[in-house]
Amino acid sequence: MDRPLRFLDRYHRGEVQADSIYALIDAWDAGTAVGADAHVQLHVSLGLSWVEYLRWCELRLLPTPQEHARWGRQDLVALGPSENRYLLKVHGPLRCRPACPIHWPSEHRMVSWPLTWSEDLGVLMRLCRHDISHPDPDDQQVRLHSELAEHDCDGCCKSTIDAEVVEALAQLDGTPASAVALLGGISRAELEQYGGPGRNPA
């Protein structure tokens, strides 16, 4: 699968000017980036490797196609919470094709969760808000070896119900109207499996 174009690709094609990078950075900072760009690190969303992004920050110079052919083959990403941060050397944007947890994540239910690294398994993980690590389904090793997807799980990565909804269920006053408005078509079995009150909103 070919990857969609990002800023640097469009810049090299002459479709955008160099200074349009500022609006993209502002959108990423404001949390208004869309698609895969909303769930990756800033330099990745621009199509730059970490080295290329540092160079732009210091010199305001974008790589030429020839430079990108060298510098775009490897990347460096920071993973995990600040108190336990991993710096991971990975393939660069030039060598990446979807789906990739770092450069081109798919729209799975964990895509907005922070990425971290499992030294024991050697795979990328997604950290849920309960501080439990779940194997990222886009990780190539997880896709190739299904046993790597097995883990101590609290249900976050498997449930079709958002954790916020499960918590809200506990606060419901029991009126059918509020249940229908909140739950839509979630089944009784799902509610019971994931800790909801077991009402069928239909």
pLDDT band at 78 (very low <50, low <70, confident <90, very high): confident
pLDDT band at 191 (very low <50, low <70, confident <90, very high): very low
pLDDT band at 2 (very low <50, low <70, confident <90, very high): low
Are residues 76 and 112 located together in one domain of the fold?
no
Are residues 83 and 4 located together in one domain of the fold?
yes
Confidence (pTM) = 0.67
Are residues 49 and 80 located together in one domain of the fold?
yes
Average pLDDT over residues 152-175: 57
pLDDT of residue 28: 92
Q: For residue 141, what are the contacts with CB-CB under 8 A and spacing of at least 6?
A: 121, 122, 123, 148
Are residues 8 and 65 located together in one domain of the fold?
yes
CA distance readout (Å), 5 to 37, 40, 74:
11, 15, 18
Tally of domains within the chain: 3
Structural domain boundaries enclosing 135 = 108-154
Alpha-carbon dihedral 178, 181, 185, 187, rounded to 10 degrees: -20
CA distance readout (Å), 7 to 11, 24, 156, 182:
6, 8, 34, 39
pLDDT band at 59 (very low <50, low <70, confident <90, very high): very high
Higher pLDDT, 42 or 80: 42
Would you tell me the crossing angle of helices 176-183 and 163-171 to the nearest 10 degrees?
180
pLDDT band at 107 (very low <50, low <70, confident <90, very high): confident
